[in-house]
A and B are shown apart, each in its own frame.
Chain A
């Protein structure tokens, strides 16, 4: 049999769903987006016994089928649509052994859709420590479903799970709770109108709009006048439904689940007393941030040096050894330095994703949400804004998507608008190279001075984000009140495999996305720098040779500089020089700024390309930049111009992808336009003040 089985992994957040997914698929997975929306879609392939293949779809974490966010809605939409190509043959509901009761609520909802369902009880390795015992056979009998005890951490139970998936056809599809029992009259009349439909599905469709007004559903017959009831009527029914489900679950658990509290160790309580403490909680939070930023610097310098040198050598090699039809100059001077400008930051970006993954996986992030909520609200934000603001240090795009679980629209909008101020990994290349050029590598009180300056710029980003939020908070109208509910998950040691998969996946997509833009821009730049209008460019060798101070020794260098100045790119740079002169930049930096308006990380690559075209006597990008001088011999990159550039990059909105995501998430061009204009203005003024102050 060659048919593939469609498997959907469904579960509450914090149940280790991703771990089970990673165990089933290994690195045999790919991430994309659901069509038209920015919800991440993770799919993978799993080989089952007897040569059967399963396509595993890892659905976004959801607490119930009563969706309250875009992510959760993806799950409901899929499960209600039998014609979807991803519609599961079998649903695997992942639960956490310590939160079994609450996790099973979702299980009963899925099973009521008449889909064959397997209940995975994950983290079974913790049962002993928590004094929990489960009679799985009895449970299977009561639930009329397959139940598997799994420990993704120890790779136990995965084979049993695979066997159950293979023989999914034997699983009963009987529902757990009869929806009609909630309100006989209401459901009887529904049944009369739609005799052929599943009542529970109808009920989900009807309540969907109560929960989640955003979906524009194609005219559902179920909404005809006779069945339209008030919001509060439907919500009361939903509450009754929830009570019914818990009664069912309690009955099942009473017969097959036992917890001996005397055996349980209270790790959560002990850690919470410190980590959510009114004073220590904040002290620890700042220590954690401080450690991360120091580590970003200290751990990555060696691999970065290696990458920098290797690309320089590769470039030299390409110039000499590539055949002519491959355009060796374009590759050696345009493509390789451009790509090198991004690959060099892989160590740091990977480290950043590592720390964020660890903060999330351990459960610490929720504690930060808890202790910061009140403070953040003063700025019109929510405690939940902390997660986007911290993950914004990796990349604003996933960070802006992570704002979806902020219930209050105004708090969410403000978070979206200010997140691009946080120091994303694309700014890191710019900061790193400038810091290493203009800040001495000294130690102050044992801390690395360059690391401290870097931390200052991260703080500057956060402070600016808070200030902007405060201004927006005072100016934007209040729309609605809504509720803040945050689950406080158990503390866990992060699973190495999960962390590694996250780092590889995220870093890969960052490099590929950025790589595409950088490749295109560096080719364009090289072409513009290698060609020029009119006779001044074409006759460059003769003009340079005629200059008095030119000797045989410096002819090549002078020629390169002259050609660049009179190329198309040179004219562009010269054209904007008057505007950026007060900020301390020359026309070459001007070119780099212009080209990085699409994406910041292009900055270093552009400078690498430009300086490579002009001069080939220095090997690495950094050496080339520090050798750059004005005609009077003063260096282009000094403390004032370096800091001014960093301030400019700290505040400017130079990322097309972020603007596109903001447009998607706010559903209007107005907000990205506001971001672009206001942030660029702040960047210009900030850089102006910085340069003028430090040049005094």
Chain B
């Protein structure tokens, strides 16, 4: 099984590996969610959803269902 963004623990830093471009909104990609960029999981909301991330300097929140689409490497 590939490691996805949704598997990270709070405080983890990882590198974005790949994703299916069709499954992600353009807005997320333009905010810096691109292969090779660093991502840091800062916080999760109650029930572990949504996730609060720092992707290559952009601070944003996405839902778990989106996070599982993004494969990362620690």
B31 & A63 in contact (Cβ 8 Å cutoff): yes
A370 & B61 in contact (Cβ 8 Å cutoff): yes
A484 & B43 in contact (Cβ 8 Å cutoff): no
- Tell whether B62 is near chain A: CB-to-CB under 8 Å: yes
Q: How many angstroms from the CA of A366 to the CA of B21 in the assembled complex? A: 26
- Tell whether A383 is near chain B: CB-to-CB under 8 Å: yes
A371 & B45 in contact (Cβ 8 Å cutoff): yes
B58 CB contact (under 8 Å) in A102, A231, A371: A102
A66 & B30 in contact (Cβ 8 Å cutoff): yes
Q: How many angstroms from the CA of A66 to the CA of B25 in the assembled complex? A: 11
Stretch of A292-300, A486-494, A623-631 lying at the B interface? A486-494
B residues less than 8 Å from A373 (CB atoms): 45, 49-50, 61, 63
B residues less than 8 Å from A102 (CB atoms): 30-32, 57-58
- Tell whether A673 is near chain B: CB-to-CB under 8 Å: no
A230-266: which residues lie under 8 A (CB-CB) from chain B? 231-232, 235-236, 238-239, 242-243, 246
A residues less than 8 Å from B2 (CB atoms): none
Q: How many angstroms from the CA of A482 to the CA of B65 in the assembled complex? A: 10
B50 & A99 in contact (Cβ 8 Å cutoff): no
Interface string of A350-377 (1 = CB under 8 A from B): 0000000000000000100111011100
**Shortest distance between the CB of A231 and any CB in chain B (Å):** 7
Q: How many angstroms from the CA of A490 to the CA of B21 in the assembled complex? A: 28
Q: Which residue of A lies closest to B50 (CB)?
A: A373
B residues less than 8 Å from A497 (CB atoms): none
Number of interface residues of B (CB under 8 A): 30
- Tell whether B3 is near chain A: CB-to-CB under 8 Å: no
Q: How many angstroms from the CA of A538 to the CA of B74 in the assembled complex? A: 90
Given contacts A242-B34, A243-B34, A484-B50, contact A276 B45 (CB under 8 A): yes
Interface string of A270-303 (1 = CB under 8 A from B): 0011001010000000000000000000000000
A residues less than 8 Å from B56 (CB atoms): 101
Given contacts A272-B43, A370-B52, contact A68 B25 (CB under 8 A): yes
Q: How many angstroms from the CA of A231 to the CA of B23 in the assembled complex? A: 12
B residues less than 8 Å from A490 (CB atoms): 59
**Shortest distance between the CB of B5 and any CB in chain A (Å):** 13
A residues less than 8 Å from B31 (CB atoms): 63, 102, 485, 487
A66 & B62 in contact (Cβ 8 Å cutoff): no
Q: How many A-B residue pairs have CB under 8 A?
A: 112
A239 CB contact (under 8 Å) in B34, B49, B52, B61: B34
A370 & B21 in contact (Cβ 8 Å cutoff): no
Given contacts A99-B57, A102-B32, A276-B52, contact A235 B26 (CB under 8 A): yes
Q: How many angstroms from the CA of A187 to the CA of B56 in the assembled complex? A: 30
A64-88: which residues lie under 8 A (CB-CB) from chain B? 64, 66, 68
- Tell whether A211 is near chain B: CB-to-CB under 8 Å: yes
B residues less than 8 Å from A668 (CB atoms): none
A residues less than 8 Å from B60 (CB atoms): 485-488
Interface string of A376-401 (1 = CB under 8 A from B): 00000001000000000000000000
B residues less than 8 Å from A101 (CB atoms): 32, 56-57
Q: How many angstroms from the CA of A102 to the CA of B58 in the assembled complex? A: 7
B residues less than 8 Å from A272 (CB atoms): 42-43, 52
Q: Which residue of B lies closest to A243 (CB)?
A: B34
Main secondary structure of the interface of A (DSSP, over half): helix
Main secondary structure of the interface of B (DSSP, over half): mixed
**Shortest distance between the CB of A409 and any CB in chain B (Å):** 14
Q: Which residue of A lies closest to B24 (CB)?
A: A483
A residues less than 8 Å from B52 (CB atoms): 272, 276, 370, 488
Q: Which residue of B lies closest to A277 (CB)?
A: B43
A487 CB contact (under 8 Å) in B22, B26, B58: B58
A residues less than 8 Å from B25 (CB atoms): 68, 407, 482-483, 485
Q: Considering residues A211, A238, A278, A488, which has the most beta carbons from chain B within 10 angstroms of its beta carbon?
A: A488
Q: How many angstroms from the CA of A231 to the CA of B26 in the assembled complex? A: 12
Q: Which residue of A lies closest to B63 (CB)?
A: A484
B16-60: which residues lie under 8 A (CB-CB) from chain A? 21-22, 24-32, 34, 42-43, 45-47, 49-50, 52, 56-60
- Tell whether A478 is near chain B: CB-to-CB under 8 Å: no
Q: How many angstroms from the CA of A419 to the CA of B27 in the assembled complex? A: 26
- Tell whether A551 is near chain B: CB-to-CB under 8 Å: no
Q: Which residue of B lies closest to A211 (CB)?
A: B26
- Tell whether A268 is near chain B: CB-to-CB under 8 Å: yes
B43 & A276 in contact (Cβ 8 Å cutoff): yes
- Tell whether A695 is near chain B: CB-to-CB under 8 Å: no
B residues less than 8 Å from A211 (CB atoms): 26
- Tell whether B66 is near chain A: CB-to-CB under 8 Å: yes
**Shortest distance between the CB of A200 and any CB in chain B (Å):** 16
B59 & A268 in contact (Cβ 8 Å cutoff): yes
Given contacts A268-B59, A383-B50, A485-B62, contact A242 B42 (CB under 8 A): no
A residues less than 8 Å from B47 (CB atoms): 374
Q: How many angstroms from the CA of A407 to the CA of B25 in the assembled complex? A: 10
Interface string of A156-180 (1 = CB under 8 A from B): 0000000000000000000000000
- Tell whether A33 is near chain B: CB-to-CB under 8 Å: no
A68 & B50 in contact (Cβ 8 Å cutoff): no
B45 & A483 in contact (Cβ 8 Å cutoff): no
A residues less than 8 Å from B22 (CB atoms): 231-232, 235
Q: How many angstroms from the CA of A235 to the CA of B50 in the assembled complex? A: 25
Given contacts A373-B45, A485-B28, contact A239 B50 (CB under 8 A): no
Mark B residues whose CB is within 8 Å of A.
Answer: 21-22, 24-32, 34, 42-43, 45-47, 49-50, 52, 56-63, 65-66
6 pairs across A/B with beta carbons < 8 Å?
A370-B43, A373-B45, A483-B62, A484-B50, A484-B61, A484-B63
* For the complex of A and B, 4 pairs with smallest distance between CB atoms: A488-B59, A483-B25, A486-B61, A374-B47
Given A373-B50, A484-B61, A485-B27, 14 extra CB contacts under 8 A: A102-B31, A232-B22, A242-B34, A246-B32, A246-B34, A272-B43, A370-B61, A373-B63, A383-B50, A483-B25, A483-B27, A483-B66, A487-B31, A487-B59
